[in-house]
């Protein structure tokens, strides 16, 4: 009896058409995390934002919040939603300073946010990159000043 070498075609995970069509071993495949591709918000920081600690929420922040499960249309005036946050150094990703991001609506219905310790971490003209992270039981926003 001659031994037959195992062919790569014998591997059920090697069928690209099954992968594309969701058939075979890929039929029950589910994503571990349903994260969006754009799991990031960017804000151009101005001196006014830093001095008054009031930031108008832009479309990128609204998109990020949708994926977190916070919809500004469901927030009542005066209601505040707070998320833990961490400032990281852009070069190393090292956790530098703990913070907190608050999302709220004004009496006029304006969508606003404030970030604890932002003035100490940034200057006007910089960009703040905000991403949502979750690891096991820990959920927080990462704040990176560029």
Q: What is the pLDDT of residue 113?
A: 95
Q: In this structure, what token pair is assigned to residue 91?
A: 């070069």
Over residues 29-87, the pLDDT tens digits come to: 444 344 444 578 999 999 999 999 899 999 999 989 988 888 888 889 989 999 999 99
Stated pTM of the model: 0.69
Arch. (CATH architecture) of 37-145: Beta Barrel (2.40)
Q: What is the mean pLDDT of residues 84-100?
A: 77
Which of 44-48, 114-118, 121-125, 132-136 has the weakest average pLDDT? 132-136
| Backbone angle region of 65, left / alpha / beta, with phi > 0 → left and psi within -120 to 50 → alpha | alpha
Name the band, by pLDDT with cuts 50, 70 and 90, for residue 10.
low
**Res 126 pLDDT > 70:** yes
SS3 readout for the chain: CCCCCCCHHHCHHHCHHHHHHCCHHHCCCCCCCCCCCCCEEEEECCHHHHHHCCEECCHHHHHHHHHHCCCHHHCCCCCEEEEEEEEECCCCCCEEEEEEEEEEECCCCCEEEEECCHHHHCCCCCEEEEEEEEECCEEEEEEEEC
Question: What ranges do the domains of the chain cover?
Answer: 37-145
Whether the pLDDT of residue 7 is over 60: the answer is no
Residue 37 pLDDT: 47
């Amino acid at each position: 009896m001659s031994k037959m070498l195992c062919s790569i075609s014998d591997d059920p995970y090697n069928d690209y058409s099954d992968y594309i069509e969701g058939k075979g071993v890929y039929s029950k495949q589910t994503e571990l995390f349903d994260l969006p591709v754009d799991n990031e918000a960017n804000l151009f920081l101005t001196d006014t934002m830093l001095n008054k600690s009031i930031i108008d929420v832009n479309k990128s922040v609204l998109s990020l919040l949708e994926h977190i499960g916070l919809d500004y249309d469901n927030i009542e005036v005066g209601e505040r939603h707070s998320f833990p946050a961490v400032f990281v150094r852009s070069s190393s990703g090292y956790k530098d300073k703990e913070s907190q991001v608050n999302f709220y609506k004004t009496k006029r219905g304006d969508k606003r946010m404030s970030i604890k310790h932002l003035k100490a971490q940034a200057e006007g003209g910089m960009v703040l990159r905000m991403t949502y992270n979750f690891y096991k039981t820990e959920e927080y926003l990462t704040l990176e000043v560029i």
